[in-house]
C-alpha cells in the first residue's frame, strides 16, 4: 500500500459506485481515512466493507442528499467528528441528463440535473470550506466533465451544470488559495461505469471507439488516480485547473 496520503482524511460524495467508489478505494490505498457518502445505502456500505477488508483502512459510510444543505453540513460534521479532520474532498455525486436533446428537455429534468450536479457541488463546497478555512488548509476536487469544457450533443442541461461546476471551481480556487485551500476539477470523458452502460446500451462499444484519439473508454480507476494526485502534495502548485481526463477528446 502506498502511504503518500499518510494520516489524511478524505471525503467522497457519490462514493457507492463508479468513479466515486474507485476514488474512495484509491484514497484508502494511498493511506487516507475515507468518509464515503451517498444516497445509496446498500452500495455505500458494501464499498466501505471492501475498503476495510482489502486495505485495512479506516472508512465509514455516511448517507447524504447533496441537494439538501443540512444533510451536507451533517455529512461534513460527521466526517470531522469521526476522524478528527477533513483534509481532502472529492465532490463527485451526479446524475445524467434524461433528455435526448435540449429542445425536448423538461423543467423537471432541468431541476433534477441542476439540483444534484451544480447546486449539490455548491452545498458541498460551502460546508467543506467552513471547516477547511478554520484549519487553514485543504484540497477540494470537483467532478466536472468533458461536457463542462465543450459543447456535447444531447448533454445540453448536463453540460450547463458541468460548465457551472468549472466556474465554481475557478472562482473558489482564486478566492481561497491564499488561505491554504486548493480547489481543482477533473473533467472525465467517456468512462466505463454502470451508469454509462445503462445510458448507451448496445451503442457503447461503437461510441468508445470514436470518443477520443485513444479509441477506448476510461476505467474509473484512471479518473481516481487523477483525483488523488490533485489532492496530494505532489500537486501543491496546481490551483484552479479543470483537468481533462478524456483520452485526448478535447484536444481535437
Q: Indicate the pTM of the whole model.
A: 0.96
Looking at 3.30.360.10, 3.40.630.30, 3.50.50.60, 3.40.50.720, the CATH number of the domain 9-245 comes to: 3.40.50.720
User: Percentage of residues in the chain with pLDDT exceeding 90?
Assistant: 86
Quote the Cα angle for 58-59-63, to 5°: 160
* 99 vs 67, more confident: 67
| CA–CA dist 18, 197 (Å, integer) | 11
| CA–CA dist 66, 33 (Å, integer) | 21
Coil vs helix vs strand at 48: helix
The 10 Å Cβ neighbour count of residue 233 is: 10
Confidence at residue 201, expressed as pLDDT on a 0 to 100 scale: 87
Q: Hey, what's the cell of 140?
A: 477540494
Residues noted as catalytic? 158
| CA–CA dist 210, 171 (Å, integer) | 33
110-150 pLDDT tens trace: 999 999 999 999 999 999 999 999 999 999 999 999 999 99
Confidence at residue 205, expressed as pLDDT on a 0 to 100 scale: 85
Find, among 120, 243, 113, 141, the residue nearest to 188 by Cα. 243
| CA–CA dist 145, 109 (Å, integer) | 18
Output DSSP code: residue 235.
Answer: G
CA distances (Å), 130 to each of 84, 123, 157, 193, in order?
A: 15, 11, 29, 32
167-214 pLDDT tens trace: 999 999 999 999 999 999 999 999 999 888 887 888 888 888 889 999
Backbone angles phi, psi at 61, to 5 degrees: -100, 135
Torsion angle, CA of 11/17/19/25, rounded to 10 degrees?
60
Cβ–Cβ < 8 Å for 247, 214: yes
Q: Where are the domains of the chain?
A: 9-245
| CA–CA dist 4, 32 (Å, integer) | 9
| CA–CA dist 220, 212 (Å, integer) | 16
Amino acid at each position: 500500500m502506498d502511504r503518500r496520503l499518510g494520516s489524511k482524511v478524505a471525503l467522497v460524495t457519490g462514493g457507492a459506485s463508479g468513479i466515486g467508489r474507485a476514488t474512495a478505494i484509491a484514497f484508502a490505498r494511498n493511506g487516507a481515512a475515507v468518509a464515503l457518502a451517498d444516497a445509496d445505502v446498500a452500495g455505500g456500505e458494501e464499498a466501505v466493507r471492501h475498503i476495510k477488508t482489502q486495505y485495512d483502512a479506516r472508512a465509514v459510510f455516511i448517507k447524504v442528499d447533496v441537494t439538501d444543505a443540512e444533510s451536507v453540513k451533517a455529512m461534513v460534521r460527521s466526517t470531522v467528528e469521526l476522524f478528527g479532520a477533513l483534509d481532502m474532498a472529492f465532490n463527485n455525486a451526479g446524475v445524467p441528463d434524461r433528455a435526448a436533446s435540449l429542445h425536448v428537455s423538461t423543467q423537471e429534468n432541468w431541476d433534477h440535473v441542476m439540483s444534484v450536479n451544480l447546486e449539490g457541488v455548491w452545498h458541498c463546497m460551502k460546508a467543506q470550506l467552513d471547516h477547511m478555512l478554520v484549519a487553514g488548509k485543504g484540497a477540494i476536487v470537483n467532478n466536472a466533465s468533458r461536457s463542462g469544457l465543450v459543447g456535447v450533443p444531447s448533454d445540453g442541461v448536463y453540460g450547463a451544470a458541468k460548465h457551472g461546476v468549472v466556474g465554481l471551481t475557478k472562482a473558489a480556487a482564486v478566492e481561497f488559495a491564499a488561505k491554504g485551500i486548493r480547489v481543482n476539477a477533473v473533467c472525465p470523458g467517456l468512462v466505463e461505469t454502470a451508469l454509462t452502460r445503462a445510458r448507451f446500451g448496445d451503442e457503447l462499444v461503437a461510441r468508445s471507439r470514436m470518443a477520443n484519439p485513444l479509441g477506448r473508454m476510461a476505467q474509473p480507476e484512471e479518473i481516481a488516480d487523477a483525483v488523488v494526485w490533485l489532492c496530494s502534495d505532489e500537486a501543491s502548485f496546481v490551483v484552479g485547473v479543470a483537468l481533462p481526463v478524456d483520452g485526448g477528446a478535447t484536444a481535437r
